[in-house]
Amino acid sequence: MEKLIKEYAEGDRLETSLLITNVVKGVSNAGSPYLSISFQDNSGTIEGKKWDASEIDSVICEIGKVVKVNCDVIDYRNSLQLKIISISEIDQSTVDINKFALPCPVNPSELVKKLNSYISSIKNKDCKLIVNHIINKYYDKFITYPAATRNHHEFASGLLYHTISMADIVMLISSYYDNIDQDMLLAGCLLHDVGKVIELSGPIATKYTLEGKLLGHISIMVSEIRKTCEELSITSEKGLLLQHMVLSHHGEKEFGSPLPPLTKEAVILHFIDDLDSKINIISKALDTTNEGEFTQRVIAMDGRAFYKPYK
């Protein structure tokens, strides 16, 4: 039986099947081509290097393909990595792709129940109409897609998991602070990342679509809200405010938001989104770290390594 990624140990010599989730071509200091490859199974992810890569290697190593990998497991800068000896094709029709999809930590059916409950709790008529229309339009994708290709919530139903985690925080904050428009904040939370169902290709071996690369999920969803308001003849400012929340939820231009948050609810949405994504990134790194040790450097967190205390 093939080992799972989470079971790999330094010194292992493996011949195993893995899903390719990313490939980057490079040239070594000696002028030889190499491939940096990200692999995945349903237990986790690992990086690998194929030195002296041939043209055939480059053809075989396609994102979204399951391949047979002959490799050694090595320690590189305090993290495990695969030193690839050879890569070969597998008949993709024989692959059970579920063996390579990262699982959602919560049963998606429980998340769907909470989603329905949160939508039902919105009292403002226009907010509820907009949310219902857009979520129903993209429902099947919204409850199955990841929230990203990597870094945070990059598993099946990760988009829904991220959204519901944020909605839970919305309810706590709304009950603590006065003068927060809970309907507006909750509606913005539920809609802020729905554009990712167009930006991304699907729940497994996720890639950016052409629309994702050229438009991005923020502009996609701003356009969707505007179109929904026109279709439903919504003329109140609720639609405009929701567009602004989506437009500004990344907080700064360098992170993809053309404008900073300019309403109280937009500010809160930005901080909740940032908090939930970063906690997920840190938690993922800590999951594969022993107590009393530091994680490997987390690139998405400014290259910091995080300490895992003893319980």
pLDDT of 18: 95
Q: Give residue for tokens 């390719």.
A: 20
**Do 175 and 254 have their domain in common?**
yes
Tokens read off for 50: 């194929």
297 or 117, which is more confident: 117
**Do 53 and 158 have their domain in common?**
no
d(CA 119, CA 30): 58
pLDDT of 35: 95
**Do 89 and 159 have their domain in common?**
no
The domain boundary residue, chosen from 75, 100, 125: 100
68 or 149, which is more confident: 68
**Do 113 and 20 have their domain in common?**
no
pLDDT in tens, 140-166: 999 999 998 877 888 889 999 999 999
pLDDT of 93: 86
**Do 146 and 233 have their domain in common?**
yes
Average pLDDT over the chain, rounded to an integer? 92
Could you give the C-alpha distances from 4 to 41, 45, 214, in angstroms and in order? 7, 10, 36
Q: Is the pLDDT of residue 284 over 90?
A: no
Residues of the domain holding 37 = 5-100
Tokens read off for 151: 């870094």
pTM for this one?
0.82
**Do 34 and 53 have their domain in common?**
yes
CB 181 within 8 A of CB 126: no
